[in-house]
Chain A
Amino acid sequence: SQQGEEDPQALSIQEGENATMNCSYKTSINNLQWYRQNSGRGLVHLILIRSNEREKHSGRLRVTLDTSKKSSSLLITASRAADTASYFCATDPRAGGTSYGKLTFGQGTILTVHP
């Protein structure tokens, strides 16, 4: 079963606008990661936030984590047409403090940025 649930399933915005995607999960985690997938391609890692962190920034990306609500959000600021892709959250479970890389993915958000 999917650990993460993402919403919205699809998001359509204009260039220059901000895009926010949300992810909820069910069990305790070691960390949460966001990946991007361009159509027909493999996934590319964007950003990782550990369970003891609340917010992280990387360029135009901002991710937040609320472990009490088991939720995370990804904000892309000043979107560009090149940001058009599917975005997935993935949780890395806590397993006695050791992570073996058994990621569990959400179903993804399809982002379309119109020029």
Chain B
Amino acid sequence: NAGVTQTPKFQVLKTGQSMTLQCAQDMNHEYMSWYRQDPGMGLRLIHYSVGAGITDQGEVPNGYNVSRSTTEDFPLRLLSAAPSQTSVYFCASRPTSRYEQYFGPGTRLTVT
């Protein structure tokens, strides 16, 4: 199993551009989440999903959009990038039967 994969690894955007961060998992996990990590801080939850077609907001959802059309994929869309969205983004998944989450390697995003 590849586990949780994220693409791209690095991205530079200009203010106002849009883009989609990709996340996929091959473990058939129902729950998936997006977090952002800023320097010196822990992770903060952006959006999460408890299954295909079901998503909800986390702690810091503004400026981000998600959808979940399949169990495997959970893309995160930046609608109009702002410098405040410069961060490292992590996708995670977990099965319904266990609590621990499996994290992807992260996407480092810089908005200039």
Contact = CB atoms under 8 A, between A and B. Distances in A.
B41 A99 contact: no
B31 A100 contact: yes
A101 interface: yes
Contacts, number: 69
The interface size bin for chain B is 20 to 34
Contacts of A100: 31, 48, 50, 56
Given A30-B99, A107-B41, A101 B94 contact: yes
A42 B100 contact: no
Contacts of A1: 59
Contacts of A45: 100-102
A48 B100 contact: yes
B90 A101 contact: no
Nearest to B106: A42
A78 interface: no
A7 to B, nearest CB: 13
A30 B99 CA distance: 10
Given A42-B106, A100-B50, A105 B99 contact: no
A43 B103 contact: yes
Interface of A: 1-2, 4, 30-31, 33, 35, 40-45, 48, 88, 90, 92, 99-108
Given A35-B103, A42-B90, A103-B45, 7 more contacts: A33-B101, A90-B42, A99-B99, A100-B48, A100-B56, A102-B33, A107-B42
